[in-house]
């Protein structure tokens, strides 16, 4: 579904991504690992057409998206459900209205249909009881769940994209979000998660890529990751206390 072909991207004089090539099927469960500042989130922005590469091609379902206009990108973007790390909700709207926003903007639905859809989405992510709460009243885990519900309202995704979905969460809420990610993919819908939290990546993914200095230095399964001899991965794993399967 997603293909990067020799993609380069720079910010000023700094190369963020260098000659990046990989492909991901729409039913795969993939984690891109790496330290902060390595360009993990940038990969998601490139997939959505929010950032354009300096060189190289990006394909979604066989279509080159690198030169598409904003209007042409709309049918590409609705193929994905994306939750960025900040998961920014509208501060002035309660949970119900945050999730309903995209439905009112893009779907030809009555208020009754919108209300039913919103309730269903919030039920799916386990926060239906929080419909009338404002964003500042939500815990970190609830905030992330509402952000996921809102992303689901925007499209019927072929694939989920998650940007550091457990960052800043306590272990219990991080576990809950990992379980939700797996639940949403039970029907075979794949996902791409970018994270620096290897424990959480190991809970949800079965293919792992490791980004270092703008390049993929590893691409393989769980066992290969844990036993990798790549020095950067050994340091990364050791620092996080993961030593064996």
Q: What is the pLDDT of residue 117?
A: 93
Average pLDDT over every residue of 178-206 = 93
Q: pTM for the full model?
A: 0.88
Tell me how far the alpha carbon of residue 218 is from its chain's centroid: 20
For the beta carbon of residue 172, count every other beta carbon within 10 angstroms. Answer: 9
DSSP 22-47: EEE-TT-EEEEE--TTSSHHHHHHHH
Q: What is the pLDDT of residue 206?
A: 96
Q: What is the pLDDT of residue 244?
A: 45
Residue 236 confidence (pLDDT) above 80: no
Q: What is the pLDDT of residue 4?
A: 98
Q: Note whether 210 and 34 are within 8 A (CB).
A: yes
Q: How, if at all, do strands 80-83 and 159-163 pair?
A: parallel
Q: Note whether 58 and 65 are within 8 A (CB).
A: yes
Residue 243 confidence (pLDDT) above 60: no
Residue-wise pLDDT for 126-155, tens only, equals: 999 999 999 999 998 899 999 999 888 877
Q: What is the pLDDT of residue 245?
A: 45
Residue-wise pLDDT for 24-54, tens only, equals: 999 999 999 988 888 999 999 999 999 999 9
Give dist(CA 82, CA 73) in Å, integer.
15
Percent of the chain having pLDDT more than 90? Answer: 70
116: pLDDT confidence band, cut at 50, 70 and 90?
Answer: very high
Q: What mean pLDDT value characterizes the chain? A: 91
113: pLDDT confidence band, cut at 50, 70 and 90?
Answer: very high
Give dist(CA 212, CA 192) in Å, integer.
18
Q: Where are the domains of the chain?
A: 88-156
Q: What is the pLDDT of residue 87?
A: 63
Q: What is the pLDDT of residue 58?
A: 98
Residue 224 confidence (pLDDT) above 70: yes
Q: What is the pLDDT of residue 12?
A: 87
SS3 236: helix
């Amino acid at each position: 579904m997603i293909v990067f072909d020799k993609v380069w991207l720079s910010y000023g004089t700094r190369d963020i991504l260098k000659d990046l090539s990989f492909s991901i099927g729409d039913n795969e469960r993939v984690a891109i690992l790496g330290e902060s500042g390595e360009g993990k989130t940038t990969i998601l922005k490139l997939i959505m057409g929010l950032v354009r590469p300096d060189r190289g091609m990006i394909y979604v379902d066989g279509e080159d998206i690198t030169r598409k206009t904003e209007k042409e990108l709309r049918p590409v973007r609705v193929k994905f459900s994306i939750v960025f790390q900040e998961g920014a909700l509208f501060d002035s709207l309660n949970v119900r209205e945050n999730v309903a926003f995209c439905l009112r903007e893009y779907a030809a639905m009555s208020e009754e249909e919108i209300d039913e859809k919103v309730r269903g989405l919030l039920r799916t992510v386990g926060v239906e009881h929080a419909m009338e709460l404002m964003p500042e009243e939500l815990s970190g885990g609830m905030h992330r769940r509402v952000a996921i519900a809102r992303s689901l309202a925007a499209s019927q995704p072929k694939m989920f994209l998650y940007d550091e979905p457990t960052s800043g969460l306590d272990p219990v809420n991080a576990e809950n979000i990992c379980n939700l990610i797996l639940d949403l993919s039970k029907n075979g819908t794949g996902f791409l998660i970018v994270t620096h939290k290897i424990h959480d990546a190991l809970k949800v993914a079965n293919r792992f890529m490791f980004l270092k200095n703008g390049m993929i230095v590893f691409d393989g399964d769980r066992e290969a990751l844990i036993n990798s001899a790549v020095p950067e991965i050994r340091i990364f794993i050791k620092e996080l206390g993961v030593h064996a399967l």
